[in-house]
Amino acid sequence: MNERTRPAREREGGYSSSSELFDSGDSPPELVTVSSGPYLESLPVANMTVGEIRRRFRTRLDLDPESQAVLDGQDVGDDVVVRAGQSLMFARRSGEKGG
């Protein structure tokens, strides 16, 4: 019979929380929800400016260079710094014509 003994950590009270069992020791990335048209992603872009995000993800999210940045429901410029947990959307206002 092949028996295995439990590690001492489990025998002496177990884990203090269920998430501790799966922790890798690294801090989680600071994610921001970024969307443009049909694209929606949670990206590790916290503490970057809107302009940096626009340039970095231009192709991946098919960003229009003339689109308006909207951060948590407020129109913002490219110099605004985005924080973890916020939602950033790039959108063309209705009624605007493409170029």
Q: Is the dihedral of CA 45, 36, 58, 77 positive or negative?
A: negative
Q: Is the pTM higher than 0.85?
A: no
Would you tell me which CATH number, out of the four given (3.10.20.30, 1.10.10.10, 1.10.10.60, 3.30.930.10), belongs to the domain 32-91?
Answer: 3.10.20.30
Over the stretch 2-61, which tens digit does the pLDDT of each residue have?
A: 666 666 655 555 555 555 555 555 556 689 999 999 999 999 999 999 999 999 999 999
Distance CA 28, CA 6 (A): 29
Residue extents of the structural domains in the chain: 32-91
Instruction: Give the residue from 31, 39, 34, 24 showing the smallest Cα distance to 71.
Output: 34
Predicted confidence at residue 92, as pLDDT, reads 83
Residue 9, pLDDT score: 55
Provide CB contacts within 8 A for 82, sequence distance 6+: 32, 45, 46, 47, 48, 49, 50, 53, 71, 88
Q: With contact defined as beta carbons under 8 Å apart, do 78 and 53 qualify?
A: no
